[in-house]
Each structure stands twice: as C-alpha cells, then as structure tokens.
Chain A
C-alpha cells in the first residue's frame, strides 16, 4: 500500500516569513495530493490540492509543487500570519479500489507574532 512521509514534524516561523512542508509518497500510481489544515479540536479541512498532470498550483499565499519523478510534493505558505498556526497534513490517494487518502504524520506550524 501507499506510504507517505512528512517533514518537519514541527515548524516555527516569524510572522511574515515563509513556511515549507515536504512530503514523499511511495505509490507511483497515486495522482491526487491534497493538503489539509487541522486546528486544535477541529476537523481536517482541505486547503489546496494538486493532480499529477500539474507541477505547481497556487492559491493566494499557498502553493503546492509536485515532482512525480522523485515522488515528492511540498506546501509553501508565504507571508505567514498567526492564524496559519495549525497542524498541516499532506495526503496521497492510493490507487487501490477504495481511493482512500493516506496521510503523512503532520506538521505543527507555529507562526510567532
């Protein structure tokens, strides 16, 4: 099955700086890679996703890049704000019949004011 590794596990940045979170996946047939943000005690919420036919996608301060050859993808947050503080999870859609998400272990992002 799919295996997704995520780094770093914790990340602290100053407000206004950029944050980068990296993930690698194992199933070369995966072709959908969402990123979820989870605030304490709340549900995971999709913030951006990318499909395998695209190398980069941007939405305001958030961007995701995908390198299919290397099987890794990254989340980039620019001009970070305190409200960006949360746990971020990358995921990949496994090519099995259920199309379930396989998640990384999460990154606790703290934006210091």
Chain B
C-alpha cells in the first residue's frame, strides 16, 4: 500500500503519560495535515506542514500538543501529559501542489484511548 500510513493504529495510555504518533505521507506530497476525529464528528483540523515548515499551528488544542516534520517527509504528533479528553482518532492527510483544489489522502488513523 503506497498510501498514507500511520503508526501505531491503536494506543492505550494512562492519563499523564506522553504519546507520539507517526505519519508517513505519500512520498511526493509536500503538504501534510493532522486532524482529530471524535466519535460522531467530522475530522477537526489541528496543524499543517508544507515541506518541513509548520505553517499553521494555531488550531492545536493546547500547548500539550506539538508536531514536527523534520525533513519534510514523515511527521510526528506528540501529546504530553495526556488527559481523558484527548481520547480520539488522530488522522494524518497529505496532498500535493500549492493550489486550493488538490485532493487530500488520509491515513488509517491512530486511535488513542486515555485511561
């Protein structure tokens, strides 16, 4: 499968622990997005990278959330001091080009459960 891949698929963690998720976009895609999806809702935008530059991060839910894309390829999303409210599906998407109209391809997501 040469699509967007995310790891792990599932993560169960205790409240207060730190977690890190990885996203590998489609190789030629320069745009990478992180979204969060809670049950019964549509994906909610968190942050955006164009190549290695994080151009939009104002939607990250709190300062406990951070993301990186150090070499413009894979990306990581870290949540520090997890809370039960962080339980959700975290989706990564990638797209190519600079126009507005390019298709975003989603990964399978990482389902986080904070106990």
Contact = CB atoms under 8 A, between A and B. Distances in A.
Contact of A98 (B4, B48, B106): B48
Interface string B82-108: 000000000101000000110111111
A9 B19 CA distance: 32
Given A43-B107, A45-B106, A103 B100 contact: no
A95 B1 CA distance: 32
Given A43-B109, A44-B106, A106-B41, A100 B33 contact: yes
B56 A100 contact: yes
Contacts of B48: 98-100
Interface residues of B, number: 24
A73 B11 CA distance: 37
Contact of A44 (B40, B44, B45, B91): B91
Contact of A101 (B4, B104, B108): B104
B104 A97 contact: no
Interface size class of A (residues with CB under 8 A): 20 to 34
B110 to A, nearest CB: 11
Interface string B30-74: 010101000011111100100000011000000000000000000
A51 interface: yes
Interface string A24-56: 000000011010100000111110010100000
A78 interface: no
B40 A93 contact: no
Contact of B108 (A43, A46, A51, A104): A43
Contact of A51 (B4, B40, B101, B107): B101
Interface of A: 4, 6, 31-32, 34, 36, 42-46, 49, 51, 89, 91, 93, 95-106
Interface of B: 4, 31, 33, 35, 40-45, 48, 55-56, 91, 93, 100-101, 103-109
